[in-house]
Structure 1
Amino acid sequence: MRPGLSALLVLGVTRVRLQRAEGRPWEVDTFSHHGAQEVVRFSIREVEVVNAGRYYCEYVKEGAASRSEPLELVVTGIFKNIPSLSAHPGPHVTTGGDVTLICQSSLHYDVFHLVKDGEIVFSQNCSHWNHSSCLISPVALVHEGSYTCYGASKQQPFLWSLPSKPLELSVTETNGLGQGYTHIVVGVLAGVVFILFFFLLLVLLCCRYQVKHDAALKDSQSGADGHTDTQVPTAEEPKEVIYAQLQREGFREDVDVPASCTTKEPCVYATLTLPGAQS
């Protein structure tokens, strides 16, 4: 069966032709149509490098010409260096996980193209896309399939290399209960971490308060001791006190002891009588 391009014609189309978007328009076929809806097929007898490019259908309906959306025709096998395709962390993943498809080659290619089950995987289908890798996150059952990659250059974007060996990506659906249990465990761990952090913060604040309190108490005690030393006089040794009482009339047997000698201080008391004082 010859390769070709197909166009689905709507009612009312009276004329259609296929043209290339790049360079000089290449009219593959032109014919008249009588308004019935059908599929028109444009055959290419032998695909060559010159057939690669962007195509569109130009058709006439009710006297007005219109153009279809462009179609890119890619010719593969131009570059013989075969790239390799791998999956990280592996080709067997579960739903909700992450997987990165990596395309590599010993020959430098400007662009790598990823194909899944014969359909091109565009960059918007990847969570993150760069020169040679496609991150799929989160993985779903629709991502399961056979993947291959091709290398190409920026100067000739429609000429690709030979395909890599197919990579079978297997996706296993996880149990909903397991996912719920995982969420519960994560929530509990987060709560425990928060409580520990709060407890450590409380201990730190208490320690700081205790240190400040002890320092203030020590300063107050030092101030009180210094004030007492300045106010209270140093005790002195008791001194002896001698009292003498002179009597004119003579010695008396009973003499009142001065009140000052009743203290605990030692004292000596004597009564003297002057001889010339008798009357």
Structure 2
Amino acid sequence: MLVCLLPVPCVLGNLRPPRITALPGSTVPWKGHVTLLCQGPGQAEGYKIAKVGSPEPTDKEEQIMPRKTNTLSVAEITTDKTGLYHCSYQRGGRWSQFSDPLQLVMTGAYEKPSLSSLAGTVVAPGENVKLQCFSKINYDVFILTKEGEDHITQNQSSMPQDRGRQTIFLLNPVSSTQAGTYRCYGAFRENPYLWSQPSDPLQLQVEGTTESPSSTQPICSTAPSGDLASRGRLLGIWIGVPVAVGLLLLVFLIFLILYCLRKAKSNAARKERQPEAAGRANGQVSEAADPQEVTYSQVTCHVPHQGTAGAPSRVPRQTQSSEYVTLAFR
């Protein structure tokens, strides 16, 4: 039997707690922007996002002023805004249980430590990997994070080492899912949500994976090495054949041009020698003579007479005869 007594709201059963997340992430650089998101059911009537340990509003305030949006925007992160946050939602006149707490951290407060892998950055599956985080600053704790994951991978106390502090993070045994980009931070116990600058990134690769997986990047399938090699050879053939044909055509054109030039020079030399030979054969005959030209030559015949050359002859002289011979040169 269900009994509801006013003004106490009617309880229809326990409401599932929501989930709180931070966009773009819960590790925020100094003066960075962050938005807290409370994910509840679609029938939620209001939301509440607050720091853990902050004063709780009264039931009257909750009923009169429920938060209509499920986000809380922090324009500029500062030290006083770091800490643990949780959220709840209102439905049917009742507030749900709080979500699991979200740690909101500000980075960049101190100098960065260094991160290295004692076994190298390329390891075999199943191998025990040790990541060393070291700093000359006496940090109380070191924090290890992996890129693409919105939570702390490991958090350990530091130990003295070579006039500084260090800690060893163990990844035992390592698998392909642990390949990726790692960074470490230093912090003090009195301000656990105020971290140093991040270390330089360390790229850990597990043998058998071509690239380190990251949730911030799409996962693309890669072709086997044999297929890549065959594709490379085929591509080389497709590129090499046109290049070879082009070179052959170029060589052929060069040869053809040289041949034509040599032939032209030979013809010119032959033409220069022919007029000289013709001049020697014909004597004084002009090269420009017309083969159809007709030449007339006069031939005069004289009949000799006896007697004195000086005495006049009483016999009348015979008339000189002239004949014309037509000479035609062809």
Task: Name the TM-score, length of structure 1 as normaliser.
Answer: 0.53
Bigger helix fraction: 1
Does 2:134 match 1:134?
no
Match of 1:89 among 119, 131, 143: 119
Give the 3 Å change call, closer, same or farther, for CA 32–24 of structure 1 in structure 2: closer
Match of 1:64 among 91, 94, 117: 94
Could you say what secondary structure the match of 2:123 adopts?
A: strand
Q: Which region of structure 1 is more displaced relative to structure 2, 111-120 or 69-78?
A: 111-120
Cα shift at 1:60: 1.5
C-alpha distance in 2 between matches for 1:169 and 1:65: 45
Q: Which residue of 2 aligns with 1:49?
A: 79
C-alpha distance in 2 between matches for 1:32 and 1:130: 40
CA displacement 1:91-139 (0-9 Å, x = unmatched): 1101111110110100011111101114334349xxxx66421111211
TM-align CA RMSD: 2.6
Aligned 1:110-189 pairs, distance under 5 A: 110-119=140-149, 120-123=151-154, 131=158, 132-173=167-208
C-alpha distance in 2 between matches for 1:32 and 1:158: 27
Amino acid aligned to 2:72: F
Amino acid aligned to 1:146: T
- Deviating 4+ runs (over 3 angstroms): 22-26, 30-33, 120-124
C-alpha distance in 2 between matches for 1:25 and 1:76: 28
Amino acid aligned to 2:205: S
Contact 1:150 1:160 in 2 (8 A): yes
C-alpha distance in 2 between matches for 1:111 and 1:25: 32
Contact 2:129 2:172 in 1 (8 A): yes
Could you say what secondary structure the match of 2:80 adopts?
A: helix
Could you say what secondary structure the match of 1:50 adopts?
A: helix
Contact 2:47 2:67 in 1 (8 A): yes
Contact 1:22 1:53 in 2 (8 A): no
CA displacement 1:232-275 (0-9 Å, x = unmatched): xxxxxxxxxxxxxxxxxxxxxxxxxxxxxxxxxxxxxxxxxxxx
Give the 3 Å change call, closer, same or farther, for CA 43–93 of structure 1 in structure 2: same
Contact 1:19 1:58 in 2 (8 A): no
Contact 1:83 1:151 in 2 (8 A): yes
Question: Could you tell me the percent identity over the aligned residues?
Answer: 34
Q: Which residue of 1 aligns with 2:227?
A: none
C-alpha distance in 2 between matches for 1:25 and 1:106: 42
Does 2:100 match 1:100?
no
Give the 3 Å change call, closer, same or farther, for CA 11–23 of structure 1 in structure 2: closer
Q: Which residue of 2 aligns with 1:19?
A: 50
Contact 1:148 1:165 in 2 (8 A): yes
C-alpha distance in 1 between matches for 2:67 and 2:115: 47
C-alpha distance in 2 between matches for 1:6 and 1:78: 25
Give the 3 Å change call, closer, same or farther, for CA 166–32 of structure 1 in structure 2: closer
Q: Which residue of 2 aligns with 1:193?
A: none
Match of 1:10 among 41, 45, 51: 41
Cα shift at 1:160: 0.4
Amino acid aligned to 1:56: H
CA displacement 1:170-196 (0-9 Å, x = unmatched): 11039xxxxxxxxxxxxxxxxxxxxxx
